[in-house]
Chains A and B, each alone.
Chain A
Amino acid sequence: MKKITAQDLHSIDELQTSYINALDSKNIPGWLETFAVVPDASYICTTAESVDRNLPLALILDDCHARLQDRVTYITKSWAGTFQDYRTRHFTQRVSAEAQADNTVKVRTNFTVIYTPEDTGSSEVLTAGVYEDVVSLANGSAKFISKKAVTDTSVLPRYLVYPL
């Protein structure tokens, strides 16, 4: 097993920070940039209930890089002007990182998302859960090969516009 270095952990944490900063700034193209440009790069948002029951359906399932690009189109073009917008604040805590043989790292990171709809101005918890990510450290830059947000929240308190 390859040993993980302090520099690796720093790169991983910087990537996670870029990810949540892009989402909390509603920089959707910036969200896309945190993923490796490989055909099978993926983002999946599902529930712990579904994972426990081995149910394949997800809340959001972008299982290739083309679909990640389509997600940006949905948010910035298809849905624009139709929903009650909301701010998010993501809070994350890395809880494990395991280096893999192929210069990737499996990372688990707890998250909480607070959301504030523009119309109510009242902040509430949107969801809590864990990111189960595979991060590539190739070429000196960290990118997500896959990112899976597994929410403890099995019943969403609201529709989701933005990925978690």
Chain B
Amino acid sequence: MNKPLQNFDVLWPARTNEIPKEVFTRADIYEEELKRIFYGPEWHPVAHEGEIPNRGDFKTCFVGKVPLIINRAQDGKVRVFFNACAHRGNQLETATAGNKSEFECPYHRWLFKDDGALVGCPAEAEFTPGFKRADFPLAQPRTEIFKGLIFVTFSDRTPDLDTFLENSQAGLSNTLGNDGRLKLLGYQKVRYRTNWKAYIDNDGYHAPLLHKAFKMLNWQGGVGRQYATGQRGHICFESALSLASGSNFLKDPSVVEFRGSDPAKGSNITALFPTFAATSHLDMINLRFANPLSVDETEVHYAYFSHQDDSPELAHHRMRQSANMLGPCGIVSMEDASIFHRIHIGNHTPGNVTFQKGVKSVSVVDMEFKQNDESGNLPRWDYYRRSMGFERQSA
């Protein structure tokens, strides 16, 4: 007999600042998350057009277990295809990126044009009566683009992208250079041994405490805020970043200088549910594509960009800064990577995790937070809880 999916035996605490640890570690919950969230009514950013600037450029990636090809065809149009032959479902493309005007499945040599049309299939005369090539193009998920950022969804129930993004659009647009004309600098790719929800659960409270470099660089937290953009679990951060001054911590401080961006808007994060984040920090433009490989492992591709209008010097500065500051080896983020691993180990213990900093009430979920609050994560948790059908226990 099928168990009802509604509660999954999870005892979700009544207090809004507590999260049951078992949701980080249970394989059955991960499988349900794939259905309800990753294949459910959410938009998932999978690439930026800056990664496929030329006709014929493509990139492959995964959402959950689903393989995708994102390409710019010879007609100049960006499309997303399921990376599976329309015939028997064989994985069509194995490279992570490249340039092709056709995709050929090696199994039975079915050939697809870069707009997805089936243009070749050997021994077609012996196929089923009435077989038409036009009935077998590469399948495509629903796709929408915001300032060059390419989103897909696998559900018919997902609202249009504009509705999905709620009030995150201004912050996201700002990070994408407002016109979306970004140029790829490169990637840092890593697998973190953590549940995807622990990866996205990094908070405003930890930054000056975990990262000693903040203090060593004399970075004072400036004026800032974080806010939920509505009811879909997206969170935006905006804060000033004071310039590093009076510090002799670095022999080469050029790497932490502002050379194009406004320090008053020095740090911006747009975290879209479930796993994506766009950040602009100093002069860095960073898009983080994260995919849950299993209940215990999350693969993150940090993609970094310059803007097409940058001088060569500014683009080079952005590249140097990006390679030094963020990602799995960055001066102010390597420690985050370690915390992702450690928190996942710790989450196998019984009970609930607790959020404290910035929590004003344990019976409501706020929408507006101070820069160094950890309570800013709670609207996302509440959306997750509702998406999964977990009921809060009564107080």
Q: Select one of B190, B331, B339, B342 contacting A74, CB under 8 A.
A: B331
Beta-carbon contact of B216 and A77 below 8 Å:
yes
Give Cα A67 to B328, complex, Å: 18
Residue ID in chain A nearest B184 by CB atoms = A55
A4 part of interface (Cβ distance < 8 Å): no
* B119 contact set on A, CB distance < 8 A: none
B26 part of interface (Cβ distance < 8 Å): no
* A45 contact set on B, CB distance < 8 A: 329
**Which of A49, A50, A82 has the most chain B CB atoms closer than 10 A to its own CB?**
A82
Instruction: Pick out which of these stretches binds chain B: A13-21, A137-145, A156-164.
Output: A156-164
Give Cα A63 to B316, complex, Å: 12
Beta-carbon contact of B337 and A159 below 8 Å:
yes
A154 part of interface (Cβ distance < 8 Å): yes
Count A-B pairs with CB separation below 8 Å: 113
Q: A-facing mask of B222-264, CB < 8 A → 1, else 0?
A: 0000000000000000000000000001111001000000000
* B184 contact set on A, CB distance < 8 A: 55
Beta-carbon contact of B251 and A155 below 8 Å:
no
* A47 contact set on B, CB distance < 8 A: 187, 189
B149 part of interface (Cβ distance < 8 Å): no
B42 part of interface (Cβ distance < 8 Å): no
Q: A-facing mask of B187-231, CB < 8 A → 1, else 0?
A: 111111100000000000000001111001000000000000000
Give Cα A41 to B344, complex, Å: 39
Interface size counted on chain B using CB atoms at 8 A: 42
Beta-carbon contact of B186 and A57 below 8 Å:
yes
B319 part of interface (Cβ distance < 8 Å): yes
Give Cα A157 to B304, complex, Å: 20
**Shortest distance from the beta carbon of A71 to any chain B beta carbon, whole Å:** 9
Residue ID in chain A nearest B98 by CB atoms = A53
Beta-carbon contact of B320 and A82 below 8 Å:
no
* A5 contact set on B, CB distance < 8 A: none
Beta-carbon contact of A159 and B187 below 8 Å:
no
**Shortest distance from the beta carbon of A97 to any chain B beta carbon, whole Å:** 28
* B324 contact set on A, CB distance < 8 A: 60-61, 67
Give Cα A57 to B301, complex, Å: 13
B84 part of interface (Cβ distance < 8 Å): no
Beta-carbon contact of A63 and B190 below 8 Å:
no
A7 part of interface (Cβ distance < 8 Å): no
Q: B-facing mask of A66-85, CB < 8 A → 1, else 0?
A: 11011001100111101110
Beta-carbon contact of A55 and B186 below 8 Å:
yes
* B331 contact set on A, CB distance < 8 A: 74, 78
Give Cα A56 to B249, complex, Å: 26
Given contacts A59-B328, A84-B342, contact A158 B190 (CB under 8 A): yes
B83 part of interface (Cβ distance < 8 Å): no
* B190 contact set on A, CB distance < 8 A: 155-159
Q: Select one of A66, A70, A82, A157 contacting B191, CB under 8 A.
A: A157
Q: A-facing mask of B318-350, CB < 8 A → 1, else 0?
A: 011011100111010011011101100100000
B49 part of interface (Cβ distance < 8 Å): no
In chain A between 115 and 164, which residues have their CB closer than 8 angstroms to a CB of chain B? 119, 154-161
* A160 contact set on B, CB distance < 8 A: 328-329, 334
A58 part of interface (Cβ distance < 8 Å): yes
**Shortest distance from the beta carbon of A52 to any chain B beta carbon, whole Å:** 9
**Shortest distance from the beta carbon of A62 to any chain B beta carbon, whole Å:** 8
**Shortest distance from the beta carbon of A120 to any chain B beta carbon, whole Å:** 9
Give Cα A58 to B304, complex, Å: 10
A64 part of interface (Cβ distance < 8 Å): yes
Beta-carbon contact of B334 and A79 below 8 Å:
yes
* B185 contact set on A, CB distance < 8 A: 55-57
- The 22 listed contacts between A and B (C-beta, < 8 Å) are A57-B185, A57-B186, A57-B304, A57-B319, A59-B328, A60-B324, A60-B329, A67-B255, A67-B324, A77-B212, A78-B212, A78-B216, A79-B212, A82-B335, A84-B338, A84-B342, A154-B96, A156-B188, A156-B189, A156-B190, A161-B329, A161-B334
Q: Which 7 A-B pairs have the closest CB atoms?
A: A57-B186, A159-B337, A55-B186, A61-B323, A66-B252, A66-B251, A83-B338
Residues of B that sit less than 8 Å from A by CB: 96-97, 184-193, 210-213, 216, 249-252, 255, 299, 304, 316, 319-320, 322-324, 327-329, 331, 334-335, 337-339, 341-342, 345
Residues of A that sit less than 8 Å from B by CB: 45, 47, 49-50, 53, 55-61, 63-64, 66-67, 69-70, 73-74, 77-80, 82-84, 119, 154-161
Given contacts A53-B186, A78-B216, A82-B339, 13 further A-B contacts (CB under 8 A): A49-B96, A55-B187, A57-B322, A59-B188, A59-B328, A74-B213, A82-B210, A82-B338, A83-B334, A83-B337, A156-B188, A158-B193, A159-B329
